[in-house]
Structure 1
């Protein structure tokens, strides 16, 4: 199963050449991750209170295939490729009318929030939701 969302490319995303300024794609990647966690029932603004946790990005690689312009509708597909003890590897593929735009590989790490930032084991209730996006049997990875 993949998490899918759409993003309309707006004037604010574009540079004077009329194409998306590449750092805006990184914001779109982060928005996709944040919306995914919301969909699973773990909004970022509640993570600290519920789990004492945040999920910062610790590694990010992105490959750009083609430009995007204002009014393009991006289709973003997120898959969870690996679930570790405290981190997850995800990929996000973006396309416009079937044309690849970019692919991002992201590693997120569950950590404490506050002055001391330390790794946390992924809470079981979050792990169960993540497993839905890997295609793996819940019992096989427990």
Structure 2
């Protein structure tokens, strides 16, 4: 639901609010896979920051509208995951995002960390196949 707090004085979503929505979607995805962000440090000594982000906006959204965000995985590397999130309103695409997440150590020194096998297996279930591209 697009809320008052998401909108600028022109009555449309202020673009930084989309970044918060995208981050919420990523965090929810990890929760659904069984790897909540709040447990990532304790379980794996890891964080999962965004290291690259590209968004294309095609139409504005307004307060009261519903935005459906659909996440798929484009590819998975040793320490990174590239995902796509498509935002649609009433069946029309309003934004397309490509995000690269990187598993890193946390603490004073931050460095790449191989994605744990149990996470890798769950992420693989979301990898977009050629048949699903554009679907």
CA distance in 2, matches of 1:82, 1:68: 29
1:83 corresponds to which residue? Answer: 76
Unmatched runs of 5 consecutive residues or more in structure 2: 130-135
Cα displacement (A) at 1:114? 1.0
1:126 aligned partner: 119
Aligned length: 129
The root-mean-square deviation of aligned C-alpha atoms, in Å, is 0.8
* Runs of 4+ off more than 4 Å: none
| Cα drift, residue 135 of structure 1 | 5.1
Question: Deviation per CA, 1:104-127, whole angstroms, max 9, x where unpaired?
Answer: 000000001111000000000000
Listed one character per residue, the Cα deviations across residues 38-76 of structure 1 (whole Å, up to 9, x for unaligned) are 000000000000000010000000000100001111111
Provide the C-alpha distance between the structure 1 equivalents of 2:125 and 2:10, rounded to a whole number of angstroms. Answer: 40
Does residue 116 (structure 1) correspond to residue 126 (structure 2)? The answer is: no
2:5 is aligned, of 9, 12, 15, to 12
- The answer to whether the aligner puts 1:45 opposite 2:38 as a matched pair is yes
1:133 shift after superposition: 0.2
Name the structure with the higher strand share.
Answer: 1
Q: Secondary structure at the match of 1:23?
A: helix
Q: What TM-score do the two structures reach when normalised by structure 1? A: 0.89
Partner in structure 2 of residue 101 of structure 1: 94
Q: 5+ residue gaps in structure 1? A: 1-7, 137-142
